[in-house]
Amino acid sequence: MSMAYKDDEEDWLTVCLKYLLFLFNFLFWVGGAAVLGVGVWTLVEKSDYLSLLASSTFAVSAYILILAGGLVVVTGFLGCCAVIREQRSCLSTYFFFLLLIFLIELVAGVLAYVYYQRLSDELKEHLNQTMTENYAQPGKETITSAVDRLQQDFKCCGSNNSQDWTLSVYIRSERSGGRVVPDSCCKTITADCGRRDHPSNIYKVEGGCITKLEQFLADHLLVIGAVGIGVACLQVSRT
């Protein structure tokens, strides 16, 4: 009688452990999906702006999150199958890959926070130069498109203010057609609207693009860092 009771107790504990592992694995899968989503969101939403950055750290952090998140989703699915089928040999491999993936997430989070600390200096040093020297130049179509979208999306003109465009290679050339700012500075874009720089026509008093782009990127970096480090620590603590 006592042996039968002991066997029943062991079976009950095995079932509980099985479903507990399944629950934790499901939470890992959700965390991986969240990491993957943040990485994709970072690259998809206004991804044109990446061409305006001197460093690739921002994009690298997002790509690392996408890689880690994708691996977690796949590994999590395989882990659920291993738990359901009680394939214990697969579980040790599963937990090893989870630990590896969490370390990758941690690296992405740390990179994001490190880059966040020097984001302002990089933008101040490189954005104005990029805009004035590369805008509307041959072979620089990606940068030109990014600058136009930046000024329209954030309702700004120039890196610091509209006067920055007086130093632009494009504005000083005959190709500008007499424009004093690019047409993308205009509140309502029409043909050759950049010839008139009155505040009623262009974003002259709304502030420069550096401050607004810095805030946008900083918000994304904080999310990348928080999700990368937060999910990694949470998942490691559960393993």
In a domain, 40, yes or no: yes
Task: Select from 54, 71, 86 the last residue of a domain.
Answer: 86
Q: How far apart are the first and last CA of the chain?
A: 37
Same domain, 80 and 139: no
CA distance 228 to 226: 6
Question: 169: exposed, middle or buried (C-beta count within 10 Å: 0-12, 13-18, 19+)?
Answer: middle
With respect to residue 94, please indicate whether it lies within any of the assigned structural domains. no
Domain encompassing residue 150: 127-215
pLDDT by residue (tens digit) across 83-96?
666 666 666 676 77
- Kindly report the CA angle at 150 between 145 and 151, in degrees rounded to 5? 105
Phi/psi zone of residue 178: left (φ > 0), alpha (ψ -120 to 50 degrees), beta? Answer: left
Residues 144 and 199 in one domain: yes
d(CA 9, CA 7): 5
Is residue 199 domain-resident?
yes
Higher pLDDT residue, 72 or 215? 215
- pLDDT for position 67: 79
Q: Are residues 76 and 14 in the same domain?
A: yes
The answer to the question of residue 226 being in a domain is no
Judge if 9 and 70 occupy the same domain.
yes
In a domain, 177, yes or no: yes
User: What one-character-per-residue DSSP string does 49-81 give?
Assistant: GGGG-S-SHHHHHHHHHHHHHHHHHHHHHHHHH
Total number of residues shown for the chain = 239
Give the pLDDT band of residue 110 (cuts 50, 70, 90): confident
Asked whether the predicted pLDDT for residue 65 surpasses 90, the reply is no
CATH of residue 134's domain is 1.10.1450
Average pLDDT, the chain: 78
Does 185 score more than 90 pLDDT? yes
pTM (two decimals): 0.66
Residue 137 and residue 65 share a domain: no
State how many domains the chain has: 2
User: Distance of CA 135 to CAs 52, 130, 140, 143, 159, Å?
Assistant: 11, 7, 7, 7, 12
pLDDT at residue 232 above 90? Answer: no
Statement to judge: residues 132 and 206 lie in one domain: yes
Which of 86, 111, 140 corresponds to the end of one domain?
86
**Is the model's pLDDT at 137 over the cut of 90?**
yes
Residue 79 predicted with pLDDT over 50? yes
Residues 21, 77 within the same domain: yes
In a domain, 69, yes or no: yes
Any domain includes 72: yes
- What is the band of 184 on the pLDDT scale with cuts at 50, 70, 90? very high
Are residues 184 and 132 part of one domain? yes
CB-count burial class (<10 Å; 0-12, 13-18, 19+) for 174: exposed
pLDDT at 102 over 80: no
Q: Which residue has the higher pLDDT, 194 or 30?
A: 194
State percent of the chain over pLDDT 70.
Answer: 72
Is the residue at 107 inside a domain?
A: no
Kindly report which listed range (9-18, 96-105, 212-221) carries the lowest average pLDDT score: 9-18
Query: Same domain for 134 and 195?
Result: yes
Mean pLDDT of 144-151: 92
